[in-house]
Amino acid sequence: MNKAYVIGVDYGTDSVRTIIVDAYNGAEIAASTFEYPRWKKQLYCNAAINEFRQHPLDYIEGLEFTIKECLQKAGDDVPNNIKAISIDTTGSSPIAVDESGTPLALHENFANDPDAMFVLWKDHSSAPEAEEINQHAKEFNINYLKYVGGIYSSEWYWSKLLHILRVNKKVKDACYSWVEHADWMPFLLTGGKHISEMKRGVCTAGHKGLWAEEWNGFPPEEFFTSLDPLLAGYVSRLPSTTYTADKPAGNLSKEWAAALGLSTNVIVGIGAMDAHMGAVGGQIEPYYLSKVMGTSTCDMLVAPVKDMQGKFVQGICGLVNGSVIPGMIGMEAGQSAFGDVYAWFKNLLSWPLQHLAEDVLNESAIKSITDKIIPALSKQASVMPLHEHNELSLDWFNGRRTPNANALLTSTITGLDLGSDAVKIFHSLAEATCFGAKAIVECFINQNIPVKGLIGIGGVAKKSPFIMQMMADVMNMPIKINKSGQTCALGAAMFAATVAGIYNKVEDAMQAMGQGFDVEYYPDKNKVDIYQHRYKKYLELGGYVEKNIA
């Protein structure tokens, strides 16, 4: 059998991860990770106003570093047998570009302007614009929001564009188009010279950009200009055609082939969002909720097109034909903060070490201690007695994504007294993230979309048995964990193998290259009833906060 390898690239919130895999069996040949240096320093970010930006150089440097390191690790015969590259990214993470498709931040006069950089998915600075879009959509006979769950989010494409145009005249005057990270990466690798050459993926366009088959593309110009004249011209510069991720964006350009040590025969696939390709890497099945659990969660569910005729799901993050598996309806939901909740608590507890212990402990010692905080809390919380009236929290540390997006909501911790300690509070935070996950499952079930089971993938799923067991208990449903530690990158590799023609469809690639499941968590029947009572309290607390505090 001839050798064939593919490259999967996964752009996460904190780093880019690249793998080279055998296209015939999915075996990982090499892997590399690159942490974004500017992001690591939190440059161009202001958490106090929910502003999170990433410089395109972090992405470019990470792409080159990880692919070259993988090739170096893989062996001499691998570069000549690389057939294709596919890429997934966070989303919606768009950026202002000029007519050539070059991000403004790559021009010297915009190099340090946060508004000229990628507006990361978790950036909620456009919450007012999102609410304007929601109110504006009510004025039209056509419901342009029905394929995005009926509510437009500040995490998405158009609200972010409008916000940037309003707050930064310099960027507004230079911005020709507004491009998703997942669409820009293939354009970059294929040597695109004009924005009209960029192929847009249905994944980002449908879930974040209001593109829909029903109206043959994006909503009309009038929808946007009547919202704000600043949006004039933008939709006309977007193509009405979009592509599923099993289609090629083009071939690797001469410049990038030379930089990476690869051939221009390497095909570059259409990009998609990380959770969507991750669901494929995690071997999603119809009506099984694939939960990509990292800093946030993205929950993916697929269903046959024939099952979804005339169905819409209020309150989720979109319902798009072909966004996960071509030929099936892809549905997205999720939580705006998941691992971020635990990271926040860890940072809170670490404050004395970070600010008062410099004269006693060196940086390495401080890191060693802080890295043990969450594992130690998890161990103690797992044996903590569970009572109906324990401390109770909400998971809305970065607003609420699903059900019914609302970026302005904030978290609450209740039931505190002098007996409350770090373990009890951590338990309530972990519980809140699981309750938020249960609310998503109920959102589907209550609208006649069955959820037959749960698939866990991502960092939290692999690293935290405590959270996964609690998830099974709260859901009263088993959750199986995919064996691969790089499911998003593996999913990208599966699409690359399909794009290269090694497989006729991505389901065949998934069958051949999937790594299977290595652990399954089952509900503890002694805890299910208590969690059900506490879940009702979680809903009551959330309802009170949303009505009286937010």
Element (H, E) at 173: helix 169-174
pLDDT of residue 498: 98
User: Once rounded to an integer, what is the mean pLDDT over residues 518-539?
Assistant: 97
Number of helices (H) and strands (E) in the chain: give both, helices first: 19, 20
User: Once rounded to an integer, what is the mean pLDDT over residues 262-287?
Assistant: 97
pLDDT of residue 154: 95
**Residue 258, phi then psi, degrees to nearest 5:** -70, -40
The gap from C-alpha 339 to its chain's centroid, in whole angstroms, comes to 12
pLDDT of residue 225: 98
User: Once rounded to an integer, what is the mean pLDDT over residues 129-156?
Assistant: 96
| pLDDT tens track for 166-184 | 999 999 999 999 999 999 9
* pLDDT confidence band for 199 (50 / 70 / 90): very high
Whether 348 shows a pLDDT value over 80: the answer reads yes
Peptide bond into 92 cis (omega under 30): yes
The Cα–Cα gap between 405 and 126 comes to 13
Question: Over 445-472, what HEC string results?
Answer: HCCCCCCCEEEEECHHHHHCHHHHHHHH
Flag whether the pTM goes above 0.85.
Answer: yes
User: Once rounded to an integer, what is the mean pLDDT over residues 457-485?
Assistant: 95
**Residue 268, phi then psi, degrees to nearest 5:** -110, 125
DSSP character at residue 219: P
User: Once rounded to an integer, what is the mean pLDDT over residues 17-44?
Assistant: 97
| pLDDT tens track for 358-376 | 788 998 999 999 999 999 9
User: Once rounded to an integer, what is the mean pLDDT over residues 450-469?
Assistant: 95
Partners of residue 292 on adjacent β-strands? 298, 457
User: Once rounded to an integer, what is the mean pLDDT over residues 405-420?
Assistant: 95
Closest CA to 536 of 485, 491, 481, 474: 474
Closest CA to 413 of 399, 427, 434: 427
Sign (positive/negative) of CA torsion 159, 210, 492, 65? negative
Question: Torsion over CA of 459, 460, 464 and 465, rounded to 10 degrees?
Answer: -100
Whether 83 shows a pLDDT value over 90: the answer reads yes
Whether 310 shows a pLDDT value over 90: the answer reads no
Element (H, E) at 56: helix 56-74
Partners of residue 303 on adjacent β-strands? 329
Whether 7 shows a pLDDT value over 80: the answer reads yes
**Residues with Cβ < 8 Å from 232, sequence gap 6 or more?**
221, 224, 225
Q: Tokens for 89? A: 């990214």
* pLDDT confidence band for 550 (50 / 70 / 90): low
Question: Torsion over CA of 234, 240, 244 and 248, rounded to 10 degrees?
Answer: -90
The gap from C-alpha 420 to its chain's centroid, in whole angstroms, comes to 34
pLDDT of residue 1: 60
When mean pLDDT is compared across 218-232, 353-367, 378-392, the lowest value belongs to 353-367
* pLDDT confidence band for 80 (50 / 70 / 90): very high
User: Once rounded to an integer, what is the mean pLDDT over residues 156-162?
Assistant: 98
Domains in the chain, start-ordered, CATH in brackets? Answer: 5-282+484-515 (3.30.420.40), 339-449+529-548 (3.30.420.40)
Given the structure tokens 């998405």, which residue do they identify? Answer: 156
Whether 418 shows a pLDDT value over 80: the answer reads yes
Whether 353 shows a pLDDT value over 80: the answer reads yes
Q: Tokens for 469? A: 């067991």
Q: Tokens for 474? A: 């709260």
Closest CA to 495 of 303, 248, 265, 284: 248
The Cα–Cα gap between 315 and 400 comes to 11
Q: Contact at 8 Å (CB) between 133 and 158?
A: yes
Q: How many CA atoms lie within 13 A of 246 on its CB side?
A: 20
* pLDDT confidence band for 549 (50 / 70 / 90): confident
pLDDT of residue 240: 87
The Cα–Cα gap between 356 and 270 comes to 49
* pLDDT confidence band for 2 (50 / 70 / 90): confident
Average pLDDT, the chain: 96
Strand, coil or helix: 52: coil
Percent of the chain with pLDDT over 90: 95
The Cα–Cα gap between 550 and 538 comes to 16
Element (H, E) at 349: helix 339-356
The Cα–Cα gap between 360 and 380 comes to 27
Whether 239 shows a pLDDT value over 70: the answer reads yes
The Cα–Cα gap between 86 and 382 comes to 39
Whether 502 shows a pLDDT value over 90: the answer reads yes
Q: What per-residue string of b and e applies to 458-489 under the rule 16 or more CB within 10 Å gives b?
A: bbbbbbbebbbbbbbbbbebebbbbbbbbbbb
CA triplet 124, 408, 377: central angle to 5 degrees? 85
The Cα–Cα gap between 390 and 166 comes to 46
Distances (CA, A) of 269 to 181, 249, 251, 497, 539: 14, 5, 9, 9, 42
* pLDDT confidence band for 249 (50 / 70 / 90): very high
The Cα–Cα gap between 287 and 204 comes to 21
* pLDDT confidence band for 301 (50 / 70 / 90): very high
Q: Contact at 8 Å (CB) between 541 and 392?
A: yes
Whether 142 shows a pLDDT value over 80: the answer reads yes
274-281 vs 487-499: helix crossing angle, rounded to 10: 80
Amino acid sitting at position 413: I
Closest CA to 146 of 201, 93, 214, 244: 214
